[in-house]
Amino acid sequence: TVWENTTDCVIKAFYQVAAGKVKAAAEHMERRAKGGMTPEDAWNETSIELVAASTAHCRAFIVEKFIETVSKTDVSRPLQAVLCQMAELYAVYWLLNNKGDFLMFSNLSPADVDGLQLWLEQLLTKLRPNAVGIVDSFDIHDDILASPLGAWDGRVYERLFEESQKSPLNKEPVNKSFHEYMKPFLRSNL
Amino acid sequence: VNEDLVKERQNCSFNTLELTHLLDGGEAKTLERKEREEYFLSDPAFKDEVPMEYLSHQEQYEHSVRKACHMFRKLQEMPHGSMDNFRQLLGGMLGSAILKDGNPLALHYVMFLPTLAGQGTVEQQAYWISRAWNLEIVGTYAQTELGHGTFIRGLETTATYDPSTQEFVLNSPTLTAYKWWPGGLGHTANYAVVVAQLYTQGKCHGIHPFIVQLRDEETHMPMPGIIIGEIGAKLGMNTTNNGYLGFKQVRIPRENMLMKNNKVLEDGTYVKSPSDKLTYGTMMFVRVVICQDMASYLSKAVTIATRYSAVRHQSEMKPGAPEPQVLDYRTQQYKLLPSIASVFAMKFSANWIWEMYNVVNSELDQGDLERLPELHAVSCCLKALCTSDAASAVEIVRLACGGHGYMKSSNLPSTYGLVTAACTYEGENTVLLLQTARYLMKTWQQARSGQTLTPSVAYLNLYSDWRQPR
Residue pLDDT, tens place only, A125-175: 999 999 999 999 999 999 999 999 999 999 999 999 999 999 999 999 999
Which helix (H) or strand (E) is B208 found in, with range? strand B203-213
B64-92 pLDDT, tens digit each: 999 999 998 888 888 765 666 677 777 67
| Nearest-by-Cβ selection for B18 from A75, A124, A168 | A75
- To the nearest 10 degrees (0 to 180), the angle between helices A7-34 and A77-97 is 30
| Nearest-by-Cβ selection for A149 from B5, B19, B404 | B404
Contacts of residue A11, defined as CB under 8 A and 6 or more positions apart, other chains included, come to A60, A63, A64, A67, A91
How far is residue A32's CA from residue A13's CA, in Å, rounded to a whole number?
28
CA-based nearest residue to B352, from B276, B296, B303, B287:
B287
Contacts of residue B155, defined as CB under 8 A and 6 or more positions apart, other chains included, come to B143, B145, B148, B177, B195, B196, B197, B207
B132-157 pLDDT, tens digit each: 998 999 999 999 999 998 888 899 99
- Answer yes or no: do A138 and B305 touch at CB < 8 A: no
Is A90 part of the contact surface with chain B (CB cutoff 8 Å)?
Answer: yes
- Answer yes or no: do A62 and B345 touch at CB < 8 A: yes
Residue B427 C-beta-side C-alpha neighbours within 13 Å = 25
Integer CA distances (angstroms), A35 to A32, A39, B445, in order: 5, 11, 19
How far is residue B444's CA from residue B10's CA, in Å, rounded to a whole number?
52
How far is residue B413's CA from residue A78's CA, in Å, rounded to a whole number?
35
User: Which chain A residue has the Cα nearest residue B98?
Assistant: A144
CA-based nearest residue to B377, from B256, B460, B253:
B460
Give the pLDDT band of residue B43 (cuts 50, 70, 90). Answer: very high
Which helix (H) or strand (E) is B227 found in, with range? strand B226-230
Integer CA distances (angstroms), B293 to B10, B287, B343, in order: 30, 10, 10
> Percentage of chain B surpassing pLDDT 90?
76
pLDDT given for residue B92 in this prediction: 76
Most confident of A28-32, B258-262, B280-284, B348-352: A28-32
Is A82 part of the contact surface with chain B (CB cutoff 8 Å)?
Answer: yes
Contacts of residue B28, defined as CB under 8 A and 6 or more positions apart, other chains included, come to none
Query: DSSP string of B153-207?
Result: GG---EEEEETTTTEEEEE--SGGGSEE--TTTTTT-SEEEEEEEEEETTEEEEE
- To the nearest 10 degrees (0 to 180), the angle between helices B57-77 and B83-90 is 170
- Answer yes or no: do A29 and B96 touch at CB < 8 A: no
Integer CA distances (angstroms), B409 to A140, A161, B5, B350, in order: 17, 10, 21, 30
pLDDT given for residue B198 in this prediction: 98
Query: What positions of B carry a catalytic annotation?
Result: 426
How far is residue A185's CA from residue B54's CA, in Å, rounded to a whole number?
27
How far is residue B405's CA from residue B407's CA, in Å, rounded to a whole number?
5
Helices (H) then strands (E): counts for chain B: 16, 11
Cβ–Cβ pairs < 8 A, chains A and B: 282
- To the nearest 10 degrees (0 to 180), the angle between helices B412-421 and B372-399 is 160
| Nearest-by-Cβ selection for B94 from A63, A131, A144 | A144
Strands B167-171 and B158-162: antiparallel
Average pLDDT of the residues of chain A? 96
Give the pLDDT band of residue A184 (cuts 50, 70, 90). Answer: confident
- Answer yes or no: do A54 and B440 touch at CB < 8 A: yes
Average pLDDT of the residues of chain B? 92
Give the pLDDT band of residue B185 (cuts 50, 70, 90). Answer: very high
Give the pLDDT band of residue A103 (cuts 50, 70, 90). Answer: very high
Give the ranges where B366-454 is alpha helix by DSSP (H).
372-399, 412-421, 429-448
What amino acid is encoded at A179 in this protein?
A: H
B206-220 pLDDT, tens digit each: 999 999 999 999 999
Classify burial at B207, counting beta carbons within 10 Å of its beta carbon; exposed 0-12, middle 13-18, buried 19 or more: middle
- Answer yes or no: do A166 and B51 touch at CB < 8 A: yes
How far is residue B194's CA from residue B88's CA, in Å, rounded to a whole number?
27
User: Which chain A residue has the Cα nearest residue B3?
Assistant: A154
Using only C-alpha atoms, chain B has a radius of gyration, in whole angstroms, of 25
Least confident of B52-56, B393-397, B451-455: B451-455
pLDDT given for residue B277 in this prediction: 57
Length of chain A (residues): 190
Least confident of A174-188, B54-68, B234-248, B342-356: A174-188
pLDDT given for residue B283 in this prediction: 74
Judged against a pLDDT cut of 60, whether residue B470 lies above it is answered with no
CA-based nearest residue to B348, from A144, A6, A84:
A84
pLDDT given for residue B369 in this prediction: 77
Annotate B13-30 with b (16+ C-beta within 10 A) or e (fewer): ebebeebbbbbbeeeeeb
How far is residue B87's CA from residue B26's CA, in Å, rounded to a whole number?
18
The Cβ of residue A40 has, within 10 Å, a number of other Cβ atoms equal to 9
Alpha-carbon distance B332 to nearest alpha carbon in chain A (angstroms): 10
Judged against a pLDDT cut of 50, whether residue B469 lies above it is answered with no
pLDDT given for residue A141 in this prediction: 97
How far is residue A88's CA from residue A123's CA, in Å, rounded to a whole number?
8
How far is residue B347's CA from residue A168's CA, in Å, rounded to a whole number?
40
**Do B208 and B159 form a contact (C-beta atoms < 8 A)?**
yes
Alpha-carbon distance B168 to nearest alpha carbon in chain A (angstroms): 36
Check residues B335 and A187 and name the one with the higher pLDDT. Answer: B335
Query: What's CA A59's distance to the chain center, in Å?
Result: 11
Q: What is the mean pLDDT of residues A93-100?
A: 98
Alpha-carbon distance B416 to nearest alpha carbon in chain A (angstroms): 13
- Edge-first strand order for the sheet with B243-247 is B179-180, B243-247, B226-230
Judged against a pLDDT cut of 80, whether residue A117 lies above it is answered with yes
Interface subset of A 129-188, CB within 8 angstroms of B: 129-141, 143-156, 160, 163-164, 166-168
pLDDT given for residue A158 in this prediction: 98
Check residues B357 and B178 and name the one with the higher pLDDT. Answer: B178
Q: What is the mean pLDDT of residues A98-120?
A: 96
B245-280 pLDDT, tens digit each: 999 999 999 999 999 989 999 999 999 977 655 556
pLDDT given for residue B282 in this prediction: 67
Q: What is the mean pLDDT of residues B308-332?
A: 95
Interface subset of B 26-65, CB within 8 angstroms of A: 30, 37, 41, 50-51, 54
**Do B304 and B410 form a contact (C-beta atoms < 8 A)?**
yes
How far is residue A105's CA from residue A16's CA, in Å, rounded to a whole number?
6
Backbone angles phi, psi at B209, to 5 degrees: -95, 140
pLDDT given for residue B77 in this prediction: 83
